[in-house]
Structure 1
């Protein structure tokens, strides 16, 4: 095969990635719509706010963590505000930035919806995999992330770094 094309194994893996990257979010969105009447994008915003010790984040940070443009995040937050789950405030430290703040009602939504969402992730992603395949998937995804973001400037911190 010419150097400009993927070999057969790469082509199969790439096509599988394209399929999974479309179908998994669709399955998660369907579960959240069914169980809570909210989109996956809105749930991610609520979850990112719930993971902050202050239940708040600067809108710019939240957009990055939720993988949304500033404009899309603004619309998502507006819909969550309409439901009483989020409110916006001026940042107290500099008065220039805006914060999205998770309300008590919004936190209650996260607590109610999270177990079903975790189960949907488990079923869609991990149920068909062995423990070895799960580790291999994690290793493969970390290697890809390192290739496309070598200085780690585009990635959101995880694990012990989830706090502000």
Structure 2
């Protein structure tokens, strides 16, 4: 038994060294952005249906958490992708450009439910979720901008500012 306890740290360390982090590519980033879009649509559907009920509130907060996880997964993929070719850079930029209207619509719909959230006692929860989403979406945009060519990085940077500003406005509404 002592032999196993002594050997275990070395086996675990060898496994960590032998299994490098898999490099991601543009298709992984685009796929993960598609998951973000799906989770955004789920949040948007939930917020539009939100009337202040307890189960709706819990469900909405779970949807926010799932969205945060999807954003984090996409950030990890973008960070691991490294600098993209011009073609791949354009592909990822196209995916981001397609995602932004969904983000902005969802933010607008969340803002429209501020009074419902307040009357149901969910203001602080949604405010916390919005702050988390602003921070994590900024990390995602930063990771994506870092792997794009100069022209695409400028395009995505403009959308990053638009999303950040919209989230900041929504946060102020809560």
Q: TM-score, normalised by structure 1?
A: 0.30
By relative contact order (CA 8 Å, sep 6+), the higher-ranking structure is: 2
| Structure whose residues are more often helix by fraction | 2
Choose 1 or 2 for highest CA Rg: 2
Q: TM-score, normalised by structure 2?
A: 0.28
| Structure whose residues are more often strand by fraction | 1
